[in-house]
Amino acid sequence: MSKSCDNNCGACSEECNERTSPINNFLEKPHELSSIKKVIGIVSGKGGVGKSLVTSMLAVTMNKRGYNTAILDADITGPSIPKAFGIDKKAVGNELGLLPVKSKTGIDIMSLNLLLESDTDPVVWRGPIIAGTVKQFWKDVIWKDIDYMFIDMPPGTGDVPLTVFQSIPVDGIIVVTSPQELVSMIVAKAVKMAEMMNIPVIGLVENMSYIKCPDCDKKINVFGESNIGAIGEKHNIEVLAKLPIEPEIAQACDKGMIEFFDFNWLDTIAEVLEK
């Protein structure tokens, strides 16, 4: 029994001998026509560190390896996935459910921007509506024969990520950080949240880790020496990738060409996922 036990088993997630009622299970079933083998959440402690970019690149990496891949864009108020893939057509539905839009290389994508009339319309919604929309992307969209689904999570550890973790059976999370963040605190928070939700942390990705000198190929740590390795060790989590600051990445995203950008930074993650 936990030291702080107040005998309210209904509101507690700890398994113990004194438990009087089962742990609450808020998991939602996917659409009956969906088939999704693995669900990976991409999280970050704050916005703008490259979470959507890593989500897109992971989907591209797995798709190139021959897997049926999908992206559920749960970043409802800042959906940037359709732009990176240059998708301008809208998602449509039929009497059975909503259909994801296929990218040029065949990645299934659902994002609020694929449903809004104009992708510049702001989403001024309260938390429960946003969380409800994410649940609908899971329950009402027909995700056919998906080997790997990547969820671009909203940044932070607030209400919406919590609902996503409770309602979607996430197999593991990948934490994206950047060196200028308060990495140690951010990673600790993400790891603790994952522990509370019983979700394994697959590994860490350090984005904007360095720039490569165009003349001599030397790696320059713009934000100083990274201590992501030590932080990973402290929490027993592997650092799976370090991405450089690369203007061509930003350009590929801006032009909607991320699928055709040549990179291999995430191959280690692909191998871990395949295992």
User: Closer CB to ligand ATP, residue 12 or residue 269?
Assistant: 269
Q: How far is the CB of 254 from ligand ATP (least distance, A)?
A: 7
Q: Which is nearer to ligand ATP, 155 or 232 (CB)?
A: 155
Q: Which amino acid is at 92?
A: V
Residue closer to ligand ATP (CB basis): 138 or 265:
265
Q: Which is nearer to ligand ATP, 90 or 212 (CB)?
A: 212
Q: Which residue is nearest to ligand ATP (CB)?
A: 47
CB of 66 to ligand ATP, least distance (A): 25
- Say if residue 46 carries a ligand binding annotation: yes
Tell me if 66 is assigned to a ligand binding site.
Answer: no
Residue 243 Cβ vs ligand ATP, minimum distance, rounded to whole Å = 5
Q: Report in angstroms the alpha-carbon separations of 90 from 100, 108, 117, 140.
A: 9, 13, 8, 16
Q: Is 127 annotated as a binding residue?
A: no
Closer CB to ligand ATP, 50 or 161, in the complex? 50
- Contact call for residues 76 and 116 (beta carbons, < 8 A): no
Least Å distance, CB 245 to ligand ATP, is 5
The residue ranges that bind ligand ATP (CB under 6 A) are: 44, 47-53, 75, 78, 80, 155, 207-208, 243, 245-246, 249-250, 253
106 is in an annotated binding site: no
User: What's the CA gap between 151 and 149, in Å, rounded?
Assistant: 7
Burial of 171 (0-12, 13-18, 19+ CB in 10 A): middle
Q: Which is nearer to ligand ATP, 258 or 273 (CB)?
A: 258
CB of 102 to ligand ATP, least distance (A): 21
Name beta bridge partners: 175. Answer: 43, 204
CB of 242 to ligand ATP, least distance (A): 10
DSSP string, 89-112: SPP-B-SS-B-PEE-TT--EEE-G
Ligand-binding site membership of 29 (annotated): no
Residue 261: its H or E element: none
CA distances from 63 to 3, 73, 103, 123, 243 (A): 47, 17, 11, 30, 19
Are 196 and 52 in contact by the 8 Å Cβ rule? The answer is no
Which tokens is 257 given? 């060409």
Give the Cα separation of 171 and 38 in Å (integer): 6
Residue 3 is labelled as binding a ligand: no
Residue 52 in marked binding region? yes
- Binding-site residue numbers are 45-52
Binding-site positions for ATP read 45-52
